[in-house]
Amino acid sequence: MTLKLGVPSKGRLMEKTFDWFAKAGIQLSRSGSDREYAGMVDGIDGVSLVLLSAGEIPRELAAGRIHLGVTGTDLIQEKLARWEQQVEEIRPMGFGDADLIIAVPRFWVDVETLDDLDAAAADFRARHGHRLRIATKYHRLVREFLRDEGVADYMLVDSQGATEGTVKNETAEAIADITSTGETLRANHLKILSDGLILRSQATLWRSRVADYDGTDRQALAELLDRVGG
């Protein structure tokens, strides 16, 4: 058997992951053509590369189909119930920084905090006859955060992309989404609530607690952890 390492299959996240492992003397690469999702590993024995969508890596780790995986804290916590029992954090990797935040229109001069959001939601519901809608793809994280903070009279609406545009399009009144620089938010006339940070996320190397590890897997894991300083 080989130790299976799951890595995002495209874009900057893949490139930065390859660079990060390269610094530890482990060369990851895509084999064959650009369109083929197969990978190669050089510089360490007993490790194989599995290229996956970043969003599927939490599920694969939790199913034990991969031993190690690179994905954001946000996706792990959103997709896995009781995530601490299914995966172990090996090392934050220092890139892919993103904050999951709650943002409202800048035009809402009366709303700066979650407390304001709660009060505005109560008014909104009484006036419009439906709950204040928050567009997001991070349903569990946002719901649990707002429950802990005691915000009521809102509802989540699903948005898998272009979430910042939902307010202008009047399919939502506020959003909960990932931001790194805040530029997209500003361009869409949105502002972050002062206490609206739900989670700080970055690309992280995770180990599956449920995968099977045979003797050679364990050896390869020890070697890899040693090299990356996990």
Only one residue has tokens 């490790």, namely 47
User: Which residue, 156, 138, 145, is CA-closest to 74?
Assistant: 138
Element housing 216 (H / E): helix 215-228
- Cα separation, 78 vs 57, in Å, equals 12
Of residues 24 and 155, the one with the C-beta less far from other proteins: 155
As a whole number of angstroms, the distance between CA 151 and CA 148 comes to 8
Tell me: does residue 193 bind other proteins (CB under 8 A).
no
Out of 38, 63, 152, 222, point to the residue binding other proteins (CB under 8 A): 152
CB 173 within 8 A of CB 167: yes
Task: Please give the residues from 44 up to 103 whose contact with other proteins meets the rule CB under 8 A.
Answer: 81-82
Residue 227 and residue 230: Cα distance in Å, rounded? 8
Q: Does 200 bind other proteins (CB under 8 A)?
A: no
* Segment interacting with other proteins (CB under 8 A) among 10-18, 44-52, 129-137, 205-213: 129-137
Number of residues that bind other proteins (CB under 8 A): 39
Q: Interface residues with other proteins (CB under 8 A)?
A: 81-82, 105-110, 112, 118-120, 122-124, 127-128, 130-132, 139-140, 143-144, 146-147, 149-150, 152-156, 167-168, 170, 172-173, 189
